[in-house]
Amino acid sequence: MLVIMKSQATHEEIDAVCRKIEEMGYKAHPIMGSTRMAIGITGNQGPVEAASFESLPGVGECVPVSKPYKLVGRELKEDTTDIDLGDGVHIGGPELAIIAGPCAVESREQAYKIASAVSAAGVRLFRGGAYKPRTSPYSFQGLGEEGLRILADVRKDFGLKIVTEAIDVESIELVDQYTDVIQIGARNMQNFSLLKRAGRSRRPVLLKRGISATLDELLMAAEYILSEGNYNVVLCERGIRTFTDHTRNTLDLSVVPAIQRLSHLPIIVDPSHGTGRREKVIPLSRAAIAVGADGLMIEVHHEPEKALSDGNQSLHPYEFEKLLKEIRQIAPILGRSVAPNPPVR
């Protein structure tokens, strides 16, 4: 059940409702929308009596939740969650979130070359894995903490926000200390202990859709994170496995409006893993923005042929620039914008 507060409800009235929920042995999740506060209740096994709340001051109405998820749904919050990363960088706001960088951090020189190229193109969010979940145990597994240190230096020297992946409950401890956004990869979408740990972090989480996950499974995975008290989750469509063999995965763009109908969480698209082929990344990026995604996550490498992972799907910096130029033209049709190129320093 959701307790919807009146738009003029005071902090004291909201606190009193939360206290009452906690006294009943449940967890209260106060989530602010654009016009009013809604309080989600979790931890209850059976139904919660609406009458216990309806008479409290400041309460507008009590609404039973019709979906299996309680906190990620639009019933709780009508407007899309706008995640504020500081310094004017948002995910879920009117400005599209463009996250770009290599698949993996391979060296300081490599990370700096790519960061320099993408930041000159106007990017404000840099991606790069320090821990890589690889299909083969013999493939490059990432630089670990050294990679995280390089990312922290990239943040300092280029003013970029960092997105990097935590692959297990061990690595998330360090990732949490270094990053701005914690990425949870497709292979870990149902790693419930990792989701719960991410839910206890104060950092926003980028949750990628599992390789064969349904929309409901993706939303329930996000629900794990919110249920622990972290309400800043970004969903990411990165392609699913089908019988198709002309691409690495099938990018399911129809999931974007489907998610947007059901959930207030922002959703971005990763056409790099979604297609696995460099020449398909630009066309599918255009489509992702046209379909209404809140942003893109794009792999870029200054020497893709030498990349230690995912070179085939990484754009050259000049291709990435072309992509952004096109997205800057498409975005306004949809009432969105892209951060401008910064002045040359």
Residue with the closest Cβ to ligand PEP? 185
Q: Distance between CA atoms of 99 and 115, rounded to whole angstroms?
A: 11
In sequence order, what are the residues at sequence separation of 6 or more whose Cβ sits closer than 8 angstroms to the Cβ of residue 216? 68
Q: Which does 336 bind (CB under 5 to 8 A by kind): Mn ion, ligand PEP, none?
A: none
Q: Which does 102 bind (CB under 5 to 8 A by kind): Mn ion, ligand PEP, none?
A: none
φ, ψ for residue 73 (rounded to 5)?
A: -80, 155
Q: Binding string, 301-320, against Mn ion, x = CB under 5 A? A: ---------x----------
Please state whether 284 falls in left (phi above 0), alpha (psi between -120 and 50) or beta.
alpha
Nearest distance, CB of residue 251 and Mn ion, angstroms: 14
Q: Which does 185 bind (CB under 5 to 8 A by kind): ligand PEP, Mn ion, none?
A: ligand PEP
CA dihedral (34, 37, 42, 47) in degrees, to 10, reads -110
What DSSP character marks residue 7?
T
Q: Which is nearer to ligand PEP, 211 or 331 (CB)?
A: 211
Nearest distance, CB of residue 238 and ligand PEP, angstroms: 4
Q: Which does 342 bind (CB under 5 to 8 A by kind): ligand PEP, Mn ion, none?
A: none
Q: Distance between CA atoms of 43 and 18, rounded to whole angstroms?
A: 13
* Burial state string for 73-100 with b = 16 or more CB within 10 A and e = fewer than 16: bbbbbeebbbbebeeebbbbbebbbbbb
> For Mn ion, which residue of 4, 5, 103, 194 counts as binding (CB under 5 A)?
103
Handedness of CA 196, 200, 201, 202 (dihedral sign): positive
Q: Distance between CA atoms of 56 and 187, rounded to whole angstroms?
A: 45
Q: What is the DSSP pairing of strand 89-91 with strand 83-86? A: antiparallel
Q: Binding string, 58-97, against Mn ion, x = CB under 5 A? A: ----------------------------------------
For residues 156 and 122, the answer to whether their CB atoms sit within 8 Å is no
Confirm or reject binding of residue 228 to Mn ion (CB under 5 A). no
Nearest distance, CB of residue 19 and ligand PEP, angstroms: 40
Q: Which is nearer to ligand PEP, 35 or 135 (CB)?
A: 135
Q: Which does 161 bind (CB under 5 to 8 A by kind): Mn ion, ligand PEP, none?
A: none
Nearest distance, CB of residue 34 and ligand PEP, angstroms: 31
Q: Which does 253 bind (CB under 5 to 8 A by kind): Mn ion, ligand PEP, none?
A: none
H or E element that contains 149: helix 145-158
The vertex-38 CA angle with 12 and 258, nearest 5°, equals 165
**Where does this chain bind ligand PEP (CB under 6 A)?**
103, 129, 133, 185-187, 208, 238, 273
Q: Which is nearer to ligand PEP, 103 or 282 (CB)?
A: 103
Q: Which is nearer to Mn ion, 29 or 127 (CB)?
A: 127
Footprint of Mn ion on this chain (CB under 5 A)?
103, 310
